[in-house]
Amino acid sequence: MLTNAYLQGVYQTVLNRNPGESEFHQAVLEVLESLEAYVEMHPEFETNGVIDALVEPERFICFRVPWVDDHGRQQINRGFRVQFNSAIGPYKGGLRFHPSVNSSIIKFLGFEQTFKNSLTTLPMGGGKGGSDFDPKGKSNTEILHFCQSFMTELYRHIGQFTDVPAGDIGVGAREVGYLFGQYKRITNRFDGGVITGKGISFGGSKGRTEATGYGVCYFTQELLACMKNDSFKDKIVVVSGSGNVATYAAEKATQLGATVVAMSDSDGYIYDPNGIRLDILKEIKQIRRARISEYVFQVPTAQYFEGCHGIWSVKCDIALPCATQNELNLDDAKKLIANGIQVLCEGANMPCTPDATAAFQEAGILFGPAKAANAGGVSVSGLEMSQNSQRLSWTFEEVDERLQGIMVGIFHAAYDASVACGKPGNLVLGANVAGFLKVAEAMIAQGVV
């Protein structure tokens, strides 16, 4: 609940300007609530207009994406790019292809990206994009044609000094390759810095594929060490999702000595008390692009359950929601708390509903918010941009070492800000304030343009 009259006014303007965009409202409200105490102490934030500007995207682009399917039928999708904030660097953020994509989803993601990118310490502003295109069941040719059409419009809005997209849900190495190929064709420029998540053979960074999931675990590891004097060793972990973030979060948690007993996709979840076999999972999800239910055909000791929410009734010490927004609600939080959960770190963007987050915090569960915990992906995207600029390529070990340093740094920035705000350990507050301060300073220095 906002009590500060100025911030109430800012929020009301967001509601009026973006009617019905509930995810965007949710993301903005969380940040405004975090800034409340800070704004009361620093009245200059009311007069300089920074917060009014922060909640209004610099630019919002919406376009038609026509393509022809394998049956010769014309299809039309809607494409988006939000260029939210360029105070500290070119707009930077992924592209999501999923039927649920709309202006609310893109704005919430672009808004959160601004703070996340600030926390990485790298010079990247906030952006996000995507389409309501559904990649499920599409042939490789259809994916290629869609990506080419999408880039045929997007190319005029991006560039290494302007806006640098990457992957997100439904956009991985294959799609980034097709998008980059079309950009090159249209512009006649091998401009590697225009998109990240590229294949290693044409300017991609080693370790980018693993970066978000590994980063979630590096963040969680530091949180466990500093706030609980503990580690992943011998912990039972539940990871929702089975895409890019979930797979590599599960892999790193396992390497760090935990047992990952459950994972999911949008149809249901698998439970394997012996620890999920990631070689089998990768073969199903990455190579065959099939459903997670097939896991039980290969691992008879495992069980499959229909539905998305059941995974949160699995008893665990650590939960890493890595699928999508609002996938974990208050009922789910209550089940996890009753089953003795100790730590939750968000791998997906905004996976916990606000009441679920509040329930964890009230129960004293250590909570790592998405903006901080999942910043490893965009961090290595930033490192990919550095390598492209230098025309160099670093080893996996070098990238991974830098990633670890960045994630440890993000934890401490968020923790220190929570202490400075008088709420030690409230990392939601800490991440929002720490991310905000750098962006706000840069905006003020540039005349809040």
Binding flags for ligand 2IT, 4-43, as an x/- string (CB under 6 A):
----------------------------------------
Choose among ligand 2IT, ligand NDP, none what residue 254 binds, the Cβ cut-off being 5 to 8 Å by kind: none
* C-alpha–C-alpha distance, residues 228 and 66, integer Å: 53
Nearest to 66 by CA among 7, 153, 172: 153
324 binds ligand NDP per the rule CB under 6 A: yes
Least Å distance, CB 386 to ligand NDP, is: 17
Cβ atoms of 291 and 267 within 8 Å: the answer is yes
Is 114 among the residues that bind ligand 2IT (CB under 6 A)?
A: no
Do the Cβ atoms of 439 and 118 come closer than 8 Å?
yes
CB of 211 to ligand NDP, least distance (A): 7
Q: Assess 166 for contact with ligand 2IT (CB under 6 A).
A: yes
Count of chain residues binding ligand NDP (CB under 6 A): 26
Answer yes or no whether residue 170 interacts with ligand 2IT by CB under 6 A. Answer: no
- 378 counts as binding ligand 2IT under rule CB under 6 A: yes
Q: Which of the following is catalytic: 92, 107, 116, 128? A: 128
Rounded-to-integer distance, Cα 241 and Cα 225, Å: 26
Under a CB-based contact definition with an 8 Å cutoff, are residues 266 and 260 in contact?
no
Tell me the closest approach of the beta carbon of residue 196 to ligand 2IT, in angstroms.
Answer: 5
How far apart CA 444 and CA 449 sit, in angstroms, is: 8
Q: Which residue is nearest to ligand NDP (CB)?
A: 243
Of 85 and 196, nearer to ligand 2IT (C-beta) is 196
Count of residues in contact with ligand 2IT, rule CB under 6 A = 12
- Which of 109, 421 has the CB closer to ligand 2IT? 109
Chain residues 368-407 in contact with ligand NDP, contact rule CB under 6 A: 374, 377
User: Rounded to whole angstroms, how far apart are CA atoms 197 and 166?
Assistant: 6
Residue nearest to ligand 2IT as judged by C-beta position: 94
Stretch that binds ligand NDP, among 152-160, 275-283, 345-353, 395-403 (CB under 6 A): 345-353
How is residue 361 written in tokens? 């915090």
Q: Which residues contact 441 (CB under 8 A, 6 or more apart)?
A: none
Q: Can you give the three-state secondary structure of 119-132, one letter per residue?
A: HCCCCCEEEEEEEC
Helix (H) or strand (E) holding 259: strand 259-264
Q: Where are the beta strands (DSSP E) in 53-145?
A: 59-68, 74-85, 91-97, 125-131
Residue 398 CB contacts under 8 Å (≥ 6 apart), including other chains: none
Task: Kindly give the pairing relationship between strand 318-321 and strand 74-85.
Answer: unpaired
Smallest separation (angstroms) from ligand NDP to the CB of 370: 7
Residues in region 200-219 near ligand NDP by CB under 6 A: 212
Does position 377 interact with ligand 2IT (CB under 6 A)? The reply is yes
Nearest alpha-carbon partner for 421 in 40, 116, 55, 113: 40
H/E stretch holding 433 reads helix 427-445
H helix or E strand, kind and range, residue 166: strand 163-166
* Contact residue for ligand 2IT among 35, 57, 91, 92 (CB under 6 A): 92
Residue 308 near ligand NDP by CB under 6 A: yes
Chosen residue from 94, 125, 126, 321 binding ligand 2IT by CB under 6 A:
94
Establish whether 107 is a catalytic residue: no
83 touching ligand 2IT, by CB under 6 A: no
323 binds ligand NDP (CB under 6 A): yes
Closest C-alpha to 115, from 73, 55, 159: 55
Q: Does 327 bind ligand 2IT (CB under 6 A)?
A: no
Is residue 321 classed as helix, strand or coil in its secondary structure?
strand
* Binding flags for ligand 2IT, 337-356, as an x/- string (CB under 6 A): ------------x-------
Asked whether the beta carbons of 381 and 92 are under 8 A apart, the reply is yes
Q: For ligand NDP, what does the binding mask look like between residues 79 and 98, x meaning CB under 6 A?
A: -------------------x
Choose the one of ligand 2IT, ligand NDP, none that binds residue 92, judging by a C-beta under 5 to 8 angstroms depending on kind: ligand 2IT
Instruction: Out of 10, 245, 302, 414, point to the residue binding ligand NDP (CB under 6 A).
Output: 245
Residue nearer to ligand NDP on the CB measure, 152 or 242: 242
Neighbours of 22 (CB within 10 A): 12
Backbone φ and ψ of 305, nearest 5°: -125, 135
Q: Are 352 and 360 in contact (CB under 8 A)?
A: yes
With vertex at residue 426, the alpha carbon angle to CA 422 and CA 427, rounded to the nearest 5 degrees, is 125
Report phi then psi at 319, rounded to 5.
-115, 135
Contact characters 33-72, ligand NDP, x per CB under 6 A: ----------------------------------------
Residues in contact with ligand 2IT by CB under 6 A are 92-94, 113, 116, 166, 168, 196, 349, 377-378, 381
Residues in contact with ligand NDP by CB under 6 A are 98, 100, 167-170, 212, 241-246, 265-267, 308, 322-324, 327, 347-349, 374, 377
Catalytic residue list: 128
